[in-house]
Each structure stands twice: as C-alpha cells, then as structure tokens.
Amino acid sequence: MVVRNIHKRLITRLFLGWIALSVVLGIAAFFIKLEQIDDLVQDLAIAESKQILKDKRYFSPNLSEQEHRILTERLNNHIENGNFTVLELYDAEVKKLFEVDSKNADAMDAHDNYIEPKEKLGKANDSMFTDNITYERFFVHGRVFLQYVVPLFDGSHKKYGYLEGVYRADDHIMEDIWNIVIESLLLVVASVFATAILFYPIVMAMNKDLIKLTGDLSDANIGMLESLGSAIAKRDSDTSSHNYRVTIYAVTLAEELGLEVEEMRRLIKGSFLHDIGKIGISDNILLKPGKLTDEEFEQMKSHVTHGSDIVGKYAWLKDAVDVVANHHEKYDGSGYLESLRGEDIPYNARIFAIADVFDALTSKRPYKEPFSYEKTIEILTESSGKHFDPKILEVFIDLSEQLYDKVRKSEDEVLEKIMHDLVRKFFYTMNHS
C-alpha cells in the first residue's frame, strides 16, 4: 500500500506540474507568437500601404482643392476595399496632409476604446514619428488591430513624410493567427506531457530504494511500538495481552465515534505505550498484592511523568503523549496528574480511560480476581460523569458485550492478529503518507 500511495502521489504531482508548466510555457509561447503575429500583420499592412504610396502627389506641396478631393476619395476607396480602418498622411514636419477613416463598427470601437483614450492620456501621435517603423498592437472584440507609423524616404534617403495607419486583420488573417497560436499551445502541452511521462519511470526507479526504506522504517517503528508496550505489560503479568486488549477496545470505540485516521494512529500509539512509564517503578510497588500505601501510590503516579518524558523525546511517538500523560485523569477533575476536568482532558485520553478500566476490571491482577462482565458494566455506569465522559461511555456500553465476548476470551495469538490487522488498516491502507 505504501508503494501504491507513492505511485498515486507521484502521478498527481506530475499531473499538477504538467498543468502548471503548460500554463506558464503556454503563456510564454503565446506572447512569442504575438511578436510573430505583429510581424505578419505589419508586413501585410506595409504591402497594402505601398499601393497607396505609388502616387507621390499625396505629398505635393501645392495641391488644388479638386486634386485634394480626388486623392481623398482614393484613400476612402482603399479603406472600403482593404483592411485599413484609418489612414493619415503627414509631411516631413509631421503636418497632417490627409486623414480618412472607416465607419465600420469594429473600426469605430477601436477609435473610441483605444486610439482616442490613448491620445487623451497624453500619448501624442508624434511619439511614434521616428526614423524607424513604430507600431502598437491592440485587440477589439477579439480581433487584432495594428496602429503603425512608417517614415517615408526618397531615392536619396531624404525623408519626405509619414504614413500612419490602423490595420484591421480580416477573417482570413484571424483564422491563420489563431491556428498559429493553437498549434503552438498544443505543441507546448504535448511536449510537457511527454516529458512528464518520461520522468515518471525515472523518478520511480530513483525512489525504489527510498520506498523500500520507508516501508522498512514503518515496520521498524511499529515493531518498536509493540515491543516496548509488550515489555512493560509483562511486568504486570506474564503476558502482553493487556496491551492488545486495551488497544482493540479503544480503537473499536474510536471507530464508532468517527475518529479521523490521524487521531486513530495517535490513539494506537498511546494505547500500546500508556504504561511505558512503569519502567521507572520498582517491582515491590508494581507487583504488590495488597493495597498501596499513600507514599507508594505517589510513586506509582509518577509513571505518568516518566512515560510522557520517554515518548515525548521520540518524534514518531510524541503524538501519543495525550494518552500517556492523561489516561488517569477523571471527568470530574479528581484524577492525576493535572486534575483536568471534562473536555479539558484530551479526547483520546477519555476514550482510552474507559478501555483501560474495562480491561482492568475484567482481568486478574496480583491484588484482585476478575469481575464479571455484568459487575464491570455496573461499576462503569456508576462512574459515568465522575470518572468517565458520559457520552463516550454510553457508546462503549452499547459495544461492550460483543467486544467482551470477542476479545476477553481470546488467546494471545488471536489478539495479536487482530491488533496487527488494526495497525495495517490505519498505518498503511488509509491515507498513508
């Protein structure tokens, strides 16, 4: 399951990386193509403007009114039959000689929404009047427009004027433009996808040893968890079954309560290691058959502190501290060590306290014989709201008889198998990370 989840996470990350990289490179490719589109549209505009500039009379200094009207009519014909929406001619001193524009809806929108606002912002037309071709691209209703200025030179390289035009890409040009853009974007997406597919087996091959090491480390951690818990449990008796039983009780109750997976893992660790602090308690106290003196009981209570210190120093175990440190707290605040009350007691500790006392009452100890199931439930019920969270206890009591029959009467080998199944369920198969 660890390998399957790593495969799943790698595929997800490669997919997200493919999307992100495709977007970034796609945007870059789009702007690169826009530069090429500018060149394409500019070449078309200049080619069309050359037809206009064949007639040098446009720049004659002494035109009659009739000649001016005839030439203006010719410019209007160019606009009606070509792709220009604005044509303006200037002499070398940037004095306007002719100006015509289209009444086409797109052309008028281009003038109202781009050219006129630009002029109002102080971007004067003469800022484009240089010795080189200058242009600005803009879009209106998804169509490319190019406003450009061409300096005009005679055969002796003397400048005699300027042509300013706003060129509108027609439907055929726009189709070519979008084909160029779409082809470029598809090429980028396909290239990035192919790269991701290529990298997948490479990354998995590189991670093969790491995956194995991760699994081995998880097994080692869980093995250490069981070994530590069992070693401490055997100090109370000749078997580690107590740890198996309380963990099974606690986890079954927690599942019924709807605990999240991560909290389940914390509960399993805490359940198995709840008494690890007893390593610091002498056998004279731990195995005493009779009632402890007040002094002995104070020493016994210190196992909570010892346990918290032990698990708190190990990164993989420190999230078990809430159970280890608080499983002897009581709902009414009369427990130890902090005398926490009600919901101030960590939720996992409230769950575990019920499982721990249930097993203690139904088990043989050096100082007592086991109570019957009925007597145990009677004691638990009397302690509702005092020792135990009443809501959690109510859920446990509904489960308790079935649990008692299944768990309490089972041999160690059966308990160990049930426990191992729980570990696999919550540490391997559910959102393992």
pLDDT digits (tens, 9 = 90+) for 130-184: 888 888 888 887 788 888 888 888 888 898 889 888 888 777 767 766 676 777 7
Domain boundary among 182, 215, 246: 182
Statement to judge: residues 261 and 340 lie in one domain? yes
Q: Helix and strand tally (H, E) in the chain?
A: 15, 5
Regarding whether 153 and 280 lie in a shared domain, the answer is no
Tokens of 59: 């720049």
Q: Which CATH number is 368's domain given?
A: 1.10.3210.10
* 119 is a domain residue: yes
The per-residue pLDDT for 343 is 94
Structure confidence at residue 432 as a pLDDT band (50, 70, 90):
very low
- pLDDT band for position 230 (cuts 50, 70, 90): low
For residue 367, count CB atoms less than 10 angstroms from its CB and return exposed for 0-12, middle for 13-18, buried for 19 or more.
exposed
pLDDT of 123:
47
Out of 36-45, 317-326, 414-423, the most confident range is 317-326
Give me the mean pLDDT over the 96-109 stretch.
82
d(CA 331, CA 8): 43
Is the pLDDT assigned to residue 381 strictly greater than 90? yes
Residue 378, pLDDT above cutoff 90: yes
**Residues 225 and 272: beta-carbon distance below 8 Å:** yes
Does 191 fall in a domain?
Answer: no
CA distance 221 to 236: 24
Give the pLDDT confidence score for residue 431 in this predicted structure: 41
49 is a domain residue: yes
Domain presence at residue 36: yes
In a domain, residue 193? The reply is: no
Task: Domain of residue 365: give its range.
Answer: 237-427
The predicted-structure confidence for 269-298, as pLDDT tens digits, reads as follows: 999 888 888 888 888 887 787 788 889 889
> What's the whole-model pTM score?
0.55
pLDDT digits (tens, 9 = 90+) for 172-228: 767 766 676 777 777 777 777 777 777 667 666 666 665 565 556 666 677 776 666
The verdict on 160 and 60 lying in the same domain is yes
Contact 33, 180 (CB under 8 A): yes
Our count of domains for the chain comes to 2
CA distance 256 to 300: 32
Catalytic residue among 8, 50, 123, 278: 278
Structure tokens, 236: 């109370």
CA-closest candidate to residue 115, choices 78, 152, 161, 164: 164
| Same domain flag for 148 and 286 | no
| Whether residue 284 sits in one domain with residue 155 | no
When comparing pLDDT for 18 and 52, which is higher? 52
Mean pLDDT, residues 56-81 taken together? 87
* First and final C-alpha spacing in the chain: 10
- 384 and 297 co-located in one domain: yes
What DSSP string describes 125-152?
A: GGGG-SSS-EEEEEEETTEEEEEEEEEE
Cβ atoms of 143 and 172 within 8 Å: the answer is: no
In a shared domain, residues 134 and 250:
no
How does pLDDT run across 346-359, given as a tens digit for each residue? 999 999 999 999 99
My answer on whether 158 and 268 are in the same domain is no
Residue 209 lies in a domain: no
Q: Please check whether residue 110 lies inside any domain of the structure.
A: yes
Q: Are residues 178 and 246 in the same domain?
A: no
278 is catalytic: yes
What average pLDDT does the segment 240-267 reach? 90
CA-CA-CA-CA torsion sign (134, 138, 142, 145): negative
Based on the domain organization, do 329 and 413 belong to the same domain? yes
Say yes or no: 413 and 302 in one domain: yes
Q: Tokens in use for 125?
A: 């037309």
**Helix H or strand E segment including 225:** helix 171-236
Identify whether residues 266 and 145 lie together within a single domain. no
CATH number, position 72: 3.30.450
Contact 124, 96 (CB under 8 A): no
